[in-house]
């Protein structure tokens, strides 16, 4: 999921907001300001309800972020790199670069999420009781009590044994430990996720059709999310199984066509697409032959026409620090999620700084098709 509003880094992890966060902030704010808060504590001015509701929605987002950060911190301590965290309408997503190395690590990474939400719920409960004991503002107490309840609900819901929920990962860790087969455990957790998703969709629509309760749309929406995500996780696990232990050197294109950084852009364009430069992206080499960047047709298209007469390839290329790179001995399964999230959907393969190849999603897809055909059992 692509972030639309970067928030910087927290604990070394890049954090961003998806545009759909506005939906949950608006929903929480309106629900509290127009419903729960004035119903529980009438007599306050309207602005007070809206201010308290908006502040509560922001703190709720912070508790979701704490949940995902807990996953990220524990994942890094167990040797799993975290690319980023994105908050969105239905919660948050911590994107891990690879899977847990063993069931114990999976158990720790998954279990810390519901535990964090439960601890947050307990802290908010204690704070609400403390404020009530000293006769603090009832509006403040009500908002904090809502935060306590919603965090406890998140902890319970996330602990359900169904993928992609944290409970589904706990179930996978248990089955992985019992059977020793990660793929089999993933299939079981994904099946549980789809069952829970269909149950929520059916009950949600039943509530809307027979009881006229429009709030049933939310469990139906969450159920759809569970089904689609559980199915995607199972598919990704199958891909990882097929590509397991496959190094990048086996799928990369060796000795790719390159271009010098000093090459005039006009000369570069004159050679394509029917001459030497008939691809859509090319590694760029410095004068000493080392890789210095990547130039793509898209980058050239963004160059104004008058500038193309005097510019060089080095002027329009994407510099090497901004280009995805990998080593020939890296595993394809670890590179794949980084490649899917990259801007150019390709990576330069460097061996001690020397360019030895280039790998694209098409290269991996082609290898996957062959390997999947070779390993699929005959009917």
Q: Which residues are catalytic?
A: 68
- At residue 352, φ and ψ (nearest 5 deg) are 55, 40
Please give the angle made by the CA atoms of 260, 264 and 269, to the nearest 5 degrees: 95
Gap between the Cα atoms of 161 and 278, Å rounded: 51
List strands edge to edge, sheet with 13-17. Answer: 5-10, 13-17, 82-88, 91-96
CA pair distance 76, 82, nearest whole angstrom? 7
For residue 187, give every residue at least 6 positions away whose Cβ sits within 8 Å of its Cβ, in sequence order, or none.
Answer: 234, 237
Enumerate the β-bridge partners of residue 259. Answer: 284
- For residues 84 and 95, the answer to whether their CB atoms sit within 8 Å is yes
**Paired tokens of 38:** 């004035």
Question: How many other β-carbons are positioned within 10 Å of the β-carbon of residue 244?
Answer: 13
Of 223, 78, 71, 220, whose CA–CA distance to 162 is shortest? Answer: 223
Tokens linked to 330: 């890296």
State how far the Cα of 72 lies from the Cα of 110, in Å rounded to an integer.
Answer: 10
């Amino acid at each position: 999921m692509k972030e639309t509003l970067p928030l910087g880094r927290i604990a070394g992890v890049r954090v961003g907001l998806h545009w759909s966060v506005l939906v949950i902030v608006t929903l929480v704010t309106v629900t509290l300001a127009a419903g729960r808060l004035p119903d529980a504590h009438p007599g306050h001015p309207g602005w007070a309800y809206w201010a308290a509701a908006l502040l509560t929605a922001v703190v709720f987002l912070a508790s979701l972020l704490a949940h995902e950060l807990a996953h990220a911190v524990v994942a890094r301590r167990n040797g799993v790199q975290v690319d980023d965290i994105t908050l969105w309408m239905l919660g948050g997503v911590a994107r891990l670069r690879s899977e847990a190395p063993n069931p114990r690590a999976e158990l720790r990474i998954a279990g810390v999420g519901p535990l964090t939400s439960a601890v947050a719920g307990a802290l908010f409960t204690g704070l609400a009781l403390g404020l009530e004991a000293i006769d603090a503002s009832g509006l403040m107490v009500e908002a904090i009590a809502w935060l306590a309840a919603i965090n406890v609900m998140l902890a319970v819901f996330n602990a359900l044994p169904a993928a992609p929920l944290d409970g589904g990962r706990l179930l996978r860790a248990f089955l992985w430990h019992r059977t020793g087969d990660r793929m089999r455990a993933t299939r079981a957790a994904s099946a549980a996720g789809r069952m829970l998703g269909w149950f929520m969709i059916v009950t949600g629509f039943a509530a809307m059709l027979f009881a006229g309760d429009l709030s049933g749309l939310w469990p139906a929406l969450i159920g759809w999310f569970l089904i689609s995500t559980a199915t995607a996780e199972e598919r990704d696990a199958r891909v990882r199984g097929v590509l397991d232990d496959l190094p990048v050197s086996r799928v990369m294109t060796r000795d790719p066509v390159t271009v010098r950084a000093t090459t005039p852009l006009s000369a570069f364009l004159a050679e394509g697409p029917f001459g030497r430069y008939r691809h859509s992206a090319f590694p760029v080499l410095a004068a000493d032959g080392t890789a210095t960047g990547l130039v793509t047709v898209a980058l050239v298209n963004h160059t104004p026409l008058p500038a193309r007469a005097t510019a060089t390839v080095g002027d329009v290329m994407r510099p090497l620090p901004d280009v995805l790179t990998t080593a020939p001995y890296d595993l394809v399964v670890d590179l794949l999620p980084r490649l899917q999230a990259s801007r150019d959907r390709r990576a330069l393969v460097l061996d001690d700084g020397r360019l030895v190849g280039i790998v694209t999603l098409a290269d991996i897809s082609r290898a996957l098709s062959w390997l999947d055909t070779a390993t699929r059992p005959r009917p």
